[in-house]
Amino acid sequence: MGAAFRQRAIPVGRVLSSPWCRCLETSRLAFGKAEPWTPLSNLFDNRANEAEQMRALREIAGRRPTGGNLVLVTHGSVVQPLTGIQPAPGELVVLTPDDAGRFRIAGRLAP
C-alpha cells in the first residue's frame, strides 16, 4: 500500500494505527510512521467499547484533514461496523469526508 501511495503521489499526513503490533508494523512499513490510537483497537471477540470507538472514528473520518490524507490502519472488526464492508486482509477502504461531518465510501483498493 505504501508503494501504491508513493507511486500515485498521494500525500499522507497523519497515520493513526491500532495499538496492536501488526497494525503498528504495517503502518511503519508502508508509511514510515505510526501514531497509536486506541479507537482503532481490534473489536474481535470484545465489543465492550464498540459504541465509543465508532463515535470517535465517525468524528475523525467526517473531518477533512489538513496537510495530507489521514490514514487509519486497523482491523476488519473495526472497518465492518464503521463502513458495512468486511475488507480482505491488506485491503484499503477509501473514505471521503463530506461538509457535514459525515463520510462516504469512495472506493476500495486490494493489496
CA distances from 84 to 12, 23, 87, 105 (A): 25, 20, 9, 10
Looking at residue 110, its pLDDT comes to 86
Q: What's the pLDDT tens digit per position in 56-87?
A: 999 999 999 989 999 999 999 999 999 999 99
Task: Please report the sign of the dihedral spanned by the C-alpha atoms of residue 36, residue 38, residue 44, residue 45.
Answer: positive
Looking at residue 40, its pLDDT comes to 96
Q: What's the pLDDT tens digit per position in 20-42?
A: 999 999 999 999 999 999 999 99
SS percent in the chain: helix, strand, coil, step 5:
35, 25, 40
User: Which cell numbers hold the place of 96?
Assistant: 471521503
Q: Which domain holds residue 62?
A: 2-109
Query: What's the domain count of the chain?
Result: 1
* Confidence label for 47 from pLDDT (cuts 50, 70 and 90): confident
Looking at residue 100, its pLDDT comes to 80
CATH number at residue 99: 3.40.50.1240
pTM of the model: 0.91
Q: Kindly state the average pLDDT of the residues 3-26.
A: 95
Looking at residue 70, its pLDDT comes to 97
Looking at residue 45, its pLDDT comes to 77
